[in-house]
Amino acid sequence: MSDFKLWMSQTQASMEDVLAQLLPAAHHVPSRLHDAMRYAVLDGGKRVRPLLVFAAGELVNADVACMQRAAAAVEMIHAYSLVHDDMPPMDNDSLRRGKPTVHVKYDEATALLVGDALQALAFEVLAGAPLQGRPQELVQMLQLLARAAGSQGMCGGQGIDLYGVGQAYTLPQLEMMHILKTGALIRASVLLGAGCGDALSDAQRQQLDHFAKCMGLAFQVVDDVLDEEADTATLGKTAGKDAANHKPTYVSLLGLKGAKEKAAELLAEARAALAPFGERGQRLQQLADYIVDRRH
């Protein structure tokens, strides 16, 4: 196993423990809600956002306990977004991570509460990050996550997506939607990881921010490519699910080859943005490569 793969599986395993400890125990009243929260978060997912927190932390000698809390907070926001996105008024999906979605396994009211409670818990967890003597930095991190999750971040992107159903998007419009819907939380993951260690210069922070923005978009372009390839394999034809729903994707706008080229361009730009960090940026660079090369 490569050094990167080992790091990835160890980080994923340790995050599972951290999340299991930070989530309320399933027997705590109301146990149905707590059981559903644990079901939504634990035992599934690639943990890409926590991995980004930890890899970015390597740039700045970050404190492990701080990164654990930042990573758990971002993953809780991500899990809440998936629970709500799967519900009937949004994507109406019955399977997630190979398991019944929360509203199917429990019920719709519970799924709403799970999302709401996970979002609140995320901020409680981040507020407990051990940044002794740096209260201003902690407030900035809380603001960063709040903005990334809210109407000028992930929820805003989801709104643009919902209100645009049936409309023809241009590439810049699609890009704007994904920069918010998927990219905001990916960007926040990188910046929160960097917030857990030594301060960066303004120039370094801008470079890192550029890296994070490129990766947020690259993640989504690859997601569209993987969706298209899965649909093609299932249906035996090129008309994917999103095209059938008139939902534009990078593949529908650029073609499969064009979308793959776009992902490669974004990766190259992201790698270039890391160059000034030298050796310390190696983990983040490996993770960027993994995000673009991933198979699911």
| Helices 202-235 and 250-274, axial angle in degrees (round to 10) | 150
Residue with tokens 């419009």: 173
Of the listed pieces 43-51, 60-68, 127-135, 248-256, which binds ligand GRG according to CB under 6 A? 43-51
Binding residue (CB under 6 A) for ligand GRG from 11, 81, 101, 110: 81
Q: Does 112 bind ligand GRG (CB under 6 A)?
A: no
Q: Does 175 bind ligand GRG (CB under 6 A)?
A: no
Q: Does 48 bind ligand GRG (CB under 6 A)?
A: yes
The residue of the chain with the least Cβ separation from ligand GRG equals: 45
Binding residue (CB under 6 A) for ligand GRG from 45, 57, 216, 240: 45
Q: Does 40 bind ligand GRG (CB under 6 A)?
A: no
Least distance in angstroms from the C-beta of 49 to ligand GRG: 7
Nearer to ligand GRG, 45 or 138 (CB): 45
Q: Are 150 and 189 in contact (CB under 8 A)?
A: no
Task: To the nearest 10°, report the CA torsion of 127, 129, 132, 138.
Answer: -50
Site string for ligand GRG, 254-293 (x = CB under 6 A): ----------------------------------------
Residues 214-243 that bind ligand GRG (CB under 6 A): 220, 223
Least distance in angstroms from the C-beta of 219 to ligand GRG: 7
Q: Does 155 bind ligand GRG (CB under 6 A)?
A: yes
How far is 288 from 281, CA to CA, in rounded Å?
A: 11
CA angle 52, 122, 184 (to 5 degrees): 45
Burial (CB count <10 Å: 0-12, 13-18, 19+), residue 65: middle
Number of Cα atoms under 13 Å in the Cβ half of residue 94:
1
Which residues fall within 8 angstroms of residue 19, CB to CB, at 6 or more apart? 41, 42, 72, 75, 76
Nearer to ligand GRG, 54 or 277 (CB): 54
How far is 42 from 189, CA to CA, in rounded Å?
A: 19
Which residues fall within 8 angstroms of residue 186, CB to CB, at 6 or more apart? 48, 49, 52, 212, 215, 216, 219
Q: Is 58 strand, coil or helix?
A: coil
Binding residue (CB under 6 A) for ligand GRG from 84, 187, 262, 283: 84
Least distance in angstroms from the C-beta of 3 to ligand GRG: 22
Site of interaction with ligand GRG (CB under 6 A):
45-46, 48, 81-82, 84-85, 90, 97, 154-155, 158, 181-182, 220, 223
